[in-house]
């Protein structure tokens, strides 16, 4: 059974935790910017006890990260939990999480990238719908953040269905160090790979991170799902090939034959993906031929980004001339 957390309202307390990389990897200036932007929403920002701990891997001990996560969920005054940022080791926490504690104290949990493992595992193990969207560090962005903030508020402050509309501009620059020298690109809209209609439960996030759940008890069922998938450029120079391999691996998962559709996020320029390449990859996989598939949607390792519910519902109607994607919490 799905569990939907209460939405945020003015005066609510939120907790910042670091289940992957440490808050100490961010400048004090950007920490202050992010805190003030969240406070401007009427939220009271608090921090986990161990968020500033930092080891040689820019993270902290499993116990410190688990303690902060558990403290945030069991604190009745905390209404939402935001991850500091992504990283590479959040999957270390999976066997140590008290899933009963989370199930009995449901609340908003939001982040992206490496946080994908926690969002999908929590949904699978508890039924709690989690959220893929901006992390605490994202809120330090000064320019080009309006679209991200709008979808964050629409998803986490109210219950109305959300019809996605492509952003007008997007960026992939090092905004954290170049706040006043941003570079924006014109958004040319969604890429239509396969047309069709679909409705299903949203699973996914970062594809390579989701892969870490394969073969474990923590991966959600793909049956009747719509996979929201994005890929980063960590394997620069080999990104497209690695993406192809990761997608093929997902196809081999149980119940993939009952998946309803796929929504791909935006690829970074250095990733090297084009619509022609993506169509070729999809065409080589017979399991995908009859699925509605759309790409270049506003989520992933570029900005701006939507906030979408992992465990929520997506309704799609995609043709060559019109593309409708609706997020519904049901």
Q: Do residues 271 and 230 lie in contact, with contact meaning Cβ atoms separated by under 8 Å?
A: no
Quick check: is 289 catalytic?
no
> Which phi and psi angles does 128 have, rounded to 5°?
-70, 125
Complete edge-to-edge strand list for the sheet that includes strand 196-206: 162-163, 323-328, 313-318, 196-206, 225-230, 261-265, 293-297, 191-194
Which residue among the candidates 22, 167, 208, 230 is catalytic per the annotation? 230
CA–CA gap between residue 74 and residue 107 (Å, rounded): 10
* Residues near 208 by beta carbon (within 8 Å), at least 6 away in sequence: 231, 232, 234, 242, 246
CA–CA gap between residue 116 and residue 66 (Å, rounded): 16
CA–CA gap between residue 161 and residue 140 (Å, rounded): 27
Hey, how many other C-beta atoms are within 10 angstroms of the C-beta on 281? 18
Which residue among the candidates 60, 301, 315, 329 is catalytic per the annotation? 301
Q: Do residues 52 and 23 lie in contact, with contact meaning Cβ atoms separated by under 8 Å?
A: yes
Alpha helices in the chain (DSSP H): 28-39, 62-74, 99-104, 116-126, 146-156, 207-210, 239-251, 275-283
> Which phi and psi angles does 154 have, rounded to 5°?
-65, -35
Which residue among the candidates 20, 22, 60, 113 is catalytic per the annotation? 113
Quick check: is 255 catalytic?
no
Quick check: is 236 catalytic?
no
Catalytic residue annotation: 113, 230, 301
């Amino acid at each position: 059974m799905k569990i939907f957390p209460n939405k945020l309202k003015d005066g609510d307390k939120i907790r910042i935790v670091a289940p992957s990389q440490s808050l100490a990897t961010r400048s004090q200036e950007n920490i202050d910017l992010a805190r003030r932007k969240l406070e401007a929403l009427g939220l009271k920002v608090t921090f986990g006890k161990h968020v500033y701990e930092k080891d040689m891997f820019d993270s902290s001990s499993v116990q410190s990260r688990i303690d902060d996560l558990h403290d945030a969920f069991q604190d009745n005054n905390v209404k939402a939990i935001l991850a500091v940022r992504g990283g590479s080791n959040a999957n270390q926490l999976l066997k140590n999480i008290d899933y009963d504690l989370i199930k009995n104290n449901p609340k908003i949990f939001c982040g992206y990238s490496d946080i994908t493992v926690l969002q999908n595992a929590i949904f699978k193990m508890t039924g709690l719908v989690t959220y893929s969207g901006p992390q605490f560090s994202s809120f330090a962005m000064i320019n080009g953040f309006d679209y991200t903030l709008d979808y964050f508020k629409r998803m986490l402050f109210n219950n109305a269905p959300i019809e996605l509309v492509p952003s007008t501009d997007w960026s992939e620059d090092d905004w954290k160090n170049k706040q006043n020298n941003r570079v924006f690109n014109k958004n040319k809209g969604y890429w239509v790979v396969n047309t069709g209609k679909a409705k299903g439960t949203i699973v996914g996030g970062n594809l390579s991170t989701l892969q870490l759940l394969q073969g474990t008890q923590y991966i959600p069922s793909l049956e009747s799902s719509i996979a929201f998938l994005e890929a980063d450029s960590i394997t620069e120079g080999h990104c497209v090939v690695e993406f192809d391999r990761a997608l093929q691996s997902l196809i081999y998962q149980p119940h993939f034959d009952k998946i309803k559709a796929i929504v791909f996020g935006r690829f970074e320029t250095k990733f090297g993906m084009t619509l022609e390449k993506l169509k070729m990859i999809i065409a080589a996989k017979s399991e995908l031929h009859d699925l509605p598939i759309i790409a270049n949607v506003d989520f992933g390792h570029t900005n701006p980004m939507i906030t979408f519910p992992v465990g929520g519902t997506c309704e799609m109607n995609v043709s060559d001339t019109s593309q409708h994607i609706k997020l519904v919490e049901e």
